Structure 1
Amino acid sequence: MPVTLAQPINAGIVTALVGFTSSFAVVLTGLRSVGADPAQAASGLFAMSLVMAFGIMFLAYRFRMPITLAWSTPGAALLAGTGAVAGGWPAAVGAFVVTGLAIVLTGVWSKLGDLIASIPVSLAQAMLAGVILPLCIEPVKAFATNPAAVAPVVIVWLVLSRVAPRWAVPAAFATAAVVIGISVVAGNSSFDTSTLVPTLSLTTPDWTWQALIGIALPLYIVTMASQNIPGTAVMASFGYAVPWRASMAVTGLGTAITAPAGVHAVNLAAISAALSAAPDAHPDSKKRWIAAFSAGVSYLVLAIASAALVTLVAAAPAGIVETVAGLALLGVLASSLAASLSDERGRIPATVTFVIAASGVSIAGIGPAFWALVMGLVVRATLLSKA
């Protein structure tokens, strides 16, 4: 294989591996938190991998750009912090459908995108930091209750964070897999080989106002503010103008159509986008689309393996999955906190937003993310309005 072709193909494989292994535990945690049973959560992971695979391949080939997609990791963390809502899992699925349609509408109606962009960055990031915080605390709790199993995962993550940061979380998961394997061999856990084949578990959507306000609205805001808008900025830094309308149509429709299978939100990749768009993927910017296409093909392979990964997670000793998920979100927490406090005049509103989001308190059946943003806007308007 010519070196010039191998380079972008390898970059695409790395993009998919890093994107999948560094956050799939967060996705499973989020889906289970809002009511999905193990089969429905596994279905969501499988369906999202398929949507990302075909979406990436279409956009990369159609526009000859290294456009990559991802599931909304911040959105999954938000689901984990929200918990069950009125109407249960069907209502959550209904909220996912609405989120997807709102993303499509954003691509068609520019004023909606402008409205999201007008939300102060400090408040959006404070809300994200607040909903992520409980998950980031989980490794500490897990270490206290099961240090023998958790310590190797944390140590590997710490060492790799120093020498190869992009592989820190995937390596932590690989270590967790070894720990799980040892637990199964020792007879402390069971491994169900009957669930290794991925399947789709469909749920008829239901709509409750609590889920629309408590899940759909904050999920849409977090996905746009933390994924789609930064994703276009990352691509622009490498000289690519992302086809906004087409990208929102592919990700939004992909989300809405496959939501009954457990897809909460698919969006433009942000952090991992650089892996296929940077010069390391190919010296010629016109050929880097091959890296993205390769990532799409790799996601197809990972989709097939998703059920086995879910089965592996199900056999995990207490605290292992939570540890991997928490470590995966530490970087997001750090950047969100930094962004939320960067505006000195807006620190109090941002802090209020953060505290409410982290509280986990639901009011009138609506989760803390919505109330955090509302109160943050109220406090900001009160403190920063002109006399």
Structure 2
Amino acid sequence: MKHIEKGVGLLSAPRDFIRDLNGDNFSAGLVAGIFGLSAGIIHISAGTAAGLPQEFTLLWVISYLMINGLFGLFLPAYYRLPLPMANSIPGALLFAAIIPVVGLNEALGATLIAGVIALVVGLAGWMSLVMRLMPMPIVMGMVAGILLKFGTNMVMPLQNAMLPAVVMILSFFFAARYLRRVPPLVVTLLVGVGYMALSGADFSGVTFSMQFPEFIMPAFTLEAFLAYGLPLALILVGMETPAGVGLVKGMGFKDAPANAITALGGFGTMISAFFNLHSTCIAAPMTGICSGPEAGSHDKRWVAAVIVGIIFIVAAPFYGFVFSLIEAMPSYFIAIIAGLALLRVIGSAMHMTFSGKHEVGAMFSFLIAVSGVQIFGIGSSFWALVLGAGISMLVEFKDFDFTVERPLARKRLLARKAG
């Protein structure tokens, strides 16, 4: 445990949560939570495309929200950092595709092994090496490429739903300019809901249901591990943690606990394997929302991540109802809200990508992430990091820093500076 970064602690977290709660971090947490709930649609779509039963996909999403909501309470509260937890979307697509091939129990067995690998990497402190191999401009190139689609999705409704899109987008900037005490995201949410009410949105298909995660025993095969478990481990260690840490550091939080994030994600993934869930990890898009300027004061943004965890836990048993409610909303609603929440984060990521070292590698990382290319069934986010770093090592090796800072040497250096 010596490599796990120290945090503030949990004893005073409830009191500090109440003290730091305000309109800005509440609205950011609410938007991030709604975004996380809507991500369940991706799971259901992937499960449907793979021919999986609807009952399974619903349990899958319920476990995603309940388990990651629980872990998402403790990580940001312990470190007082905006570190919301969710699951890997690329991992979800792999999971849905591999179940018909190897079987559900075997896929969950591979998930368990992937979690063990991530846990070991985090406990051993190897994430510092991974982060050195993935310099910040390359990581932020991948992040900018992935988040760019949220920006384009925000403006796409101008093509087919111009009036509500213009009303919602202008309400955000009007609130930011003239309503200083009201978070712009809250204004946009209210305006969007008001427009839907006036335009006669059909909520007749909304149904109430309640269900909890169910226990299942994993099984183990070499085929499932090679086809799914190993790629999942690489995604968790090589993509999800660097993306989340890169976002948090990009927003000015320099002490992001990469080892702890990876270890906790690995442990959460091991737990997930017993409840129809494929992974637990830091949630990059939601991290962008919770850690960005729209979440208010820098030292209070951690509250937004805790709110995400609360929303997940409360909504999990009722996701059948939540899903039917989301389906009743126009698709532009969540697209515009998420795009506005991530607007300044996308700008910061683009700036960090193209204003420093590793220019060629960062550009390739950005382009690969934007392309959405899949190689060997693994998504563009992973390959953006691997190929971006590889190309940068080939043509920009001088930009890498592989020096190891030893504690004693650091103390002597600080002593000399003090003297």
Same fold, judged at TM 0.5 (above):
yes
Partners of 2:132 and 2:181 lie apart in 1 by 30
Q: What amino acid does structure 2 have at the position aligned with 1:145?
A: N
Matched, 1:51 2:31: no
Deviates more, 1:171-180 or 1:106-115: 171-180
CA distance in 2, matches of 1:30, 1:152: 27
The answer on 1:140 being equivalent to 2:150 is no
Query: Structure 1: which 5+ runs fail to align?
Result: 282-287
State the match for 1:124 in structure 2.
139
Give the C-alpha shift of residue 359 in structure 1: 1.2
Equivalent residue, structure 2, for 1:225: 242
Question: What is aligned with 1:11?
Answer: 20
Distance 1:137 1:53, change over 3 A: closer
Larger Cα-atom Rg: 2
CA contact (8 A) 1:70 1:267 kept: yes
Q: Which amino acid aligns with 1:312?
A: L
- Larger RCO: 1 or 2 (CA < 8 Å, sep 6+): 1
Q: Does structure 1 conserve the Cα–Cα contact (< 8 Å) formed by 2:154 and 2:336?
A: yes
Q: CA RMSD in A?
A: 4.8
Structure 1 residue 315: Cα displacement: 0.7
| C-alpha distance in 1 between matches for 2:111 and 2:182 | 29
Q: The residue matched to 1:194 in structure 2 has which SS? A: coil
> Within 1, Cα distance between the matches of 2:72 and 2:375?
39
Instruction: Calculate percent identity across the aligned residue pairs.
Output: 19
Given candidates 349, 369, 390, the residue that maps to 1:378 is 390
| Structure-2 separation of matches of 1:134 and 1:60 | 27
Aligned length: 363
Q: CA 1:93–1:30 in 2, change beyond 3 Å: closer, same or farther?
A: farther
* Equivalent position of 2:408 in the other structure: none
Q: Residue 193 of structure 1: SS of its match in structure 2?
A: coil
Indicate if the aligned counterparts of 2:118 and 2:266 stay in contact, CA closer than 8 A.
yes
For 1:100 and 1:362, locate their aligned partners in 2 and report how far apart those are by CA, in whole Å: 23
Structure 2 stretches lacking a partner, 5+ long:
1-13, 399-419
Distance in structure 2 (CA, Å) of the matches to 1:357 and 1:292: 25
Residue-by-residue CA offset, 1:78-101 (whole Å, 9 max, x unaligned): 679x79974269699778656644
Q: 1:191 aligns with which of 179, 182, 205?
A: 205
Relative to 1, partners in 2 of residues 1:56 and 1:86: Cα closer, same or farther, differing over 3 Å? closer
1:87 to 98, 101, 110: 98
Q: TM-score, normalised by structure 2?
A: 0.65
1:19 corresponds to which letter in structure 2?
G
Distance 1:317 1:6 in 2: 39
Residue 114 of structure 1 deviates from its aligned partner by: 2.2
SS at match of 2:392: helix
TM-score by length of 1: 0.69
Residue of structure 1 aligned with 2:268, choices 254, 260, 268: 254
Q: 1:285 is matched with which residue?
A: none
The one-letter code sitting in structure 1 at the alignment partner of 2:343 is L
Deviations 1:42-99 (A, max 9, x none): 65564444335544665689x6x646641258x54x679x799742696997786566
Change (3 A) 1:223 1:84: closer
